[in-house]
């Protein structure tokens, strides 16, 4: 039996045949079905890496630039890009294969952040990420920057919500345009 060490960043791969139950009304694979699979892949990849139960903290913007068709074989290639104290960014590359023709298309890539949690559901430390190859180091840096952008984005969204959820009385369209201009310039 192969011994698996916690903290080993082995690539995680899952392949699924796209069956008709995953289709939307136009016969292509439903975006929500794909999101569910992406979340499952991120769960398995991160939980295997840290040897702990993990929960989903965030899913970065997922772009569906290419449809996936029923009958295609979809492969999710995942790995851990970054580990903080408890959070892990999982990068997932999605490829769809036409089984009969053998054509493989890269349909999208997405980033999901999982957090290692203890029995009380509180965040707990994940193992340190080994960074050996130049590619792993480059992925780590890019993921750290994405983490900082997520935090900034979250904080800005909170400020916008606090400022504007109950503050829109007496604003006609002209005042709204002027207010937006003022905010954009001040970046608040």
Ligand X SMILES: CC(C)(COP(=O)(O)OP(=O)(O)OC[C@H]1O[C@@H](n2cnc3c(N)ncnc32)[C@H](O)[C@@H]1OP(=O)(O)O)[C@@H](O)C(=O)NCCC(=O)NCCS
Binding site for ligand X (CB under 6 A): 55-57, 84-87, 115, 117, 121, 123, 147, 150-151, 154
Residue 85, both tokens? 């104290």
- Report the nearest approach of ligand X to the CB of residue 188 (Å): 18
- Report the nearest approach of ligand X to the CB of residue 87 (Å): 3
70: helix, coil or strand?
coil
Residue 10, both tokens? 């082995």
Which residue has 């503050």 as its token pair? 167
Q: What stretch of H or E contains 107?
A: strand 104-117
Residue 69, both tokens? 């068709």
Question: Can you tell me the distance from the alpha carbon of 120 to that of 139, in angstroms, rounded to the nearest whole number?
Answer: 31
- Of 151 and 159, CB closest to ligand X: 151
- Of 53 and 64, CB closest to ligand X: 53
List Cβ neighbours of 91 (8 Å cut-off, separation of 6 or more). 78, 79, 80, 81, 109, 110, 111, 139, 143
Note whether 56 and 38 are within 8 A (CB).
no
- Report the nearest approach of ligand X to the CB of residue 143 (Å): 11
- Report the nearest approach of ligand X to the CB of residue 181 (Å): 28
End-to-end CA distance of the chain: 56
- Of 107 and 116, CB closest to ligand X: 116
- Of 18 and 83, CB closest to ligand X: 83
- Of 68 and 79, CB closest to ligand X: 79
- Report the nearest approach of ligand X to the CB of residue 120 (Å): 10
Question: Can you tell me the distance from the alpha carbon of 164 to that of 42, in angstroms, rounded to the nearest whole number?
Answer: 35
- Report the nearest approach of ligand X to the CB of residue 57 (Å): 5
- Of 55 and 131, CB closest to ligand X: 55
Residue nearest to ligand X (CB): 84
């Amino acid at each position: 039996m192969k011994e698996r060490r916690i903290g080993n960043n082995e690539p995680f791969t899952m392949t699924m045949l796209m069956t008709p139950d995953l289709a939307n009304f136009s016969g292509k694979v439903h975006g929500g079905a794909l999101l569910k699979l992406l979340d499952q892949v991120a769960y398995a990849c991160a939980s295997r890496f840290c040897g702990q139960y993990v929960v989903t903290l965030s899913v970065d913007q997922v772009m569906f630039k290419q449809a996936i068709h029923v009958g295609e074989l979809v492969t999710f290639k995942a790995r851990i890009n970054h580990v903080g104290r408890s959070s892990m960014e999982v990068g997932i590359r999605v490829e769809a294969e036409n089984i009969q023709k053998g054509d493989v298309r890269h349909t999208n890539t997405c980033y999901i952040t999982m957090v290692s949690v203890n029995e009380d559901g509180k965040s707990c430390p994940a193992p340190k990420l080994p960074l050996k190859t130049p590619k792993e180091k480059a992925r780590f840096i890019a993921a750290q920057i994405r983490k900082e952008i997520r935090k900034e984005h979250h904080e800005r969204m909170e400020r916008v919500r606090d400022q504007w959820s109950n503050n829109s009385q007496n604003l006609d369209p002209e005042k709204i345009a002027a207010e937006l201009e003022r905010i954009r310039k001040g970046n608040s």
